[in-house]
Amino acid sequence: MSENKPKGVVIFVGAGPGDPELITIKGSRALERADRVIYAGSLVNPDLLKLCRPGTPCHDSASLTLEEVIALMIEGTKKGETIVRLHTGDPSMYGAIKEQFDRLDQEEISYSVVPGVSSVFAAAAAVKREFTLPDISQTLILTRLAGRTPVPEREALTLLAQHQSSMAIFLSVQDMGSVVEALLEGGYPASTPIAVVAKATWPDEEIVVGTLETIADKVKAAGIRKQAQILVGDFLDPAGGYARSKLYDPTFTHEFRQGKET
């Protein structure tokens, strides 16, 4: 290898929730120029790999350890390659990227991150709802149940449910009964609306809606066990109505418009 050959770089790219058209332009351009791709094969739509140049090595990380992923990055960057690490959704949400960053820092390998469309927003689009309705909720909590990856006690679902805000729960549909139990214990009424969106934006997307009283049985009947977002809160079906946005209220004055008296 030439002493003057520049060291390669790693680009972490959010692949989006599934629909290949939902990758960002910047993310797709990174794939187009990549010399090597390491992708989360169990979740990333393989159609995205068609953006790569013919013959580009593509490594499925589903069966790899962190050490094996880093070894591929070290090998490629020593050759001056641009490597795309393709994560599902947005890399910052349950993407296990910090441990990769730390290892790359140790190796003095340069890297950057291209954000992606998270499944939480794809799910909201699928059910055609807004998380932040005036007078209903101005807060969205993103969380998960504890599993093999623990959750800090202060972030237990029961405690978060006490806020009664809009909530999106990742990686938990396989234990829907525990989700419902925690939400009820935290204070959500049994009548609270809830939606489960499986494989949002994929061709086999599935939406199940109900209340905390009915959703566990509906999810079980649908056979949904993975790759699903759980959305809960009155934003889904505000029984008492909601306030109109101030921004577009004709009586509201702001920097760009003088409000009219009624």
Distances (CA, A) of 64 to 9, 40, 71, 103, 127: 20, 10, 10, 16, 35
Of the candidates 210, 207, 224, 223, the one whose C-alpha atom is nearest the C-alpha of residue 180 is 210
Whether the per-residue pLDDT at 253 is higher than 80: the answer is: no
If you average pLDDT over residues 66-83, what whole number do you get?
97
- Do 199 and 206 touch, CB atoms closer than 8 A? yes
Helices 176-186, 215-222: inter-axial angle, 10-degree rounding: 170
- Write the burial class of residue 149 (CB in 10 Å: 0-12 exposed, 13-18 middle, 19+ buried): exposed
Average confidence (pLDDT) over 151-176: 95
**Mean of pLDDT over the chain:** 93
pLDDT, mean of residues 99-110: 97
Quick one: pLDDT at residue 1? 45
- State pLDDT tens for residues 191-249: 999 999 999 999 999 999 999 999 999 999 999 999 999 999 999 998 878 887 767 66
Q: How confident is the model at residue 258 (pLDDT cuts 50, 70, 90)?
A: low
Does 170 score more than 50 pLDDT?
A: yes
In the DSSP assignment, the letter for residue 80 is T
